[in-house]
Amino acid sequence: MTRRLSPVILVTGLVLAALVAAPAGAQTPTSVDVNIEGVGTVSAPLQIVLLLTLLTFIPAILVTMTSFTRIVIVFHFLRQALGTQEMPPNQVLVGLALFLTMFIMAPVGARVNEQALQPAIAGQITVNEAVERAAPPVREYMLKQTRERDLALFVELGKLPRPSSPDGLPMRVVIPAYAISELKTGFQMGFFLFIPFLLIDLVVSTTLLSMGMFQLPPAMVSLPFKVMLFVMIDGWNLLVGSIVRSFL
């Protein structure tokens, strides 16, 4: 039982610790001594308590530290542009977003597993050392997707000294900067996604007005054309491919 629970708790704990970790190479500030000599030394009841506590932070981690936010925003804009109301359902879009997030974050997870998780499970390093090893891959991914202007904003708001390189920034600066960068990127992709469907709406609306069909809602007529266009160009393939490539 201990071995089964250890990986889940350690992965969650490493990500949570990275949220407040100091710059790379610095000790993580904490008032609690977590210098455990290997994860296997933690008893199963204590692991269950830790797991239930850490699970409450998973939604925040998923939204703020992964590619999930950008994907969900683009899917929302797609459904609004198509005008299909609740089709595809929220459950389908969120499920697809989750699996795309797993696909995109797989290289980061593999590095964390190799550098921090497996050595900690084997008892070769302590939890503190595992946290220090797990933070750089996550930081590197987030910095790659974050705009310098957003980083500079939170450095200024936090009244922090300007580091010589982005790697010296604390995670409390990187995480919010990454979040607003993802929001901006998602809205930009959504804007360009809207344009072709907006053109269809304009053509249909102008045609109906010229024919004097004022009582017929233009959205009802344009919906089949937008769906047909999206299917004919293999829209899901193009959209998902563009989203994934935007993280490379």
Instruction: Average the pLDDT over 217-222 and give the result.
Output: 73
Rounded to whole angstroms, the Cα distance separating 168 from 23 reads 5
Rounded to whole angstroms, the Cα distance separating 65 from 63 reads 6
Predicted local distance difference test score (pLDDT) of residue 201: 80
Sequence-separated (6 or more) residues with CB below 8 Å from residue 177: 146, 147, 150, 151, 153, 154
Q: What is the 3-state secondary structure (H, E, C) of the chain?
A: CHHHHHHHHHHHHHHHHHHCCCCCCCCCCCCCCCCCCCHHHCCHHHHHHHHHHHHCCHHHHHHHHCCHHHHHHHHHHHHHHHCCCCCCCHHHHHHHHHHHHHHHHHHHHHHHHHHHHHHHHCCCCCHHHHHHHHHHHHHHHHHHHCCHHHHHHHHHHCCCCCCCCHHHCCHHHHHHHHHHHHHHHHHHHHHHHHHHHHHHHHHHHHHHHHCCCCCCCHHHHHHHHHHHHHHHCCHHHHHHHHHHHCCC
Q: What band does 12 get if pLDDT is binned at 50, 70 and 90?
A: very low
Domain range enclosing 108: 2-191
Residue 187 lies in a domain: yes
Residue 6 lies in a domain: yes
Asked whether residue 36 carries a pLDDT value surpassing 50, the answer given is: no
Express each pLDDT in 95-121 by its tens digit. Answer: 888 899 889 888 888 888 777 777 777
Torsions phi, psi for 213 (to 5 deg): -95, 75
Asked whether residue 17 carries a pLDDT value surpassing 60, the answer given is: no
Asked whether residue 191 carries a pLDDT value surpassing 60, the answer given is: yes
Residue 208 lies in a domain: no
Q: What band does 235 get if pLDDT is binned at 50, 70 and 90?
A: confident
Rounded to whole angstroms, the Cα distance separating 209 from 73 reads 33
Predicted local distance difference test score (pLDDT) of residue 33: 42
Instruction: Average the pLDDT over 18-40 and give the result.
Output: 44
Residue 196 lies in a domain: no
Predicted local distance difference test score (pLDDT) of residue 42: 54
Predicted local distance difference test score (pLDDT) of residue 43: 59
Residue 232 lies in a domain: no
Predicted local distance difference test score (pLDDT) of residue 226: 84
CA nearest to 13, candidates 173, 130, 175, 142: 130
- Our count of domains for the chain comes to 1
Residue 247 lies in a domain: no
Express each pLDDT in 53-73 by its tens digit. Answer: 777 777 777 778 888 889 999
Instruction: Average the pLDDT over 76-101 and give the result.
Output: 86
Express each pLDDT in 177-187 by its tens digit. Answer: 898 999 999 89
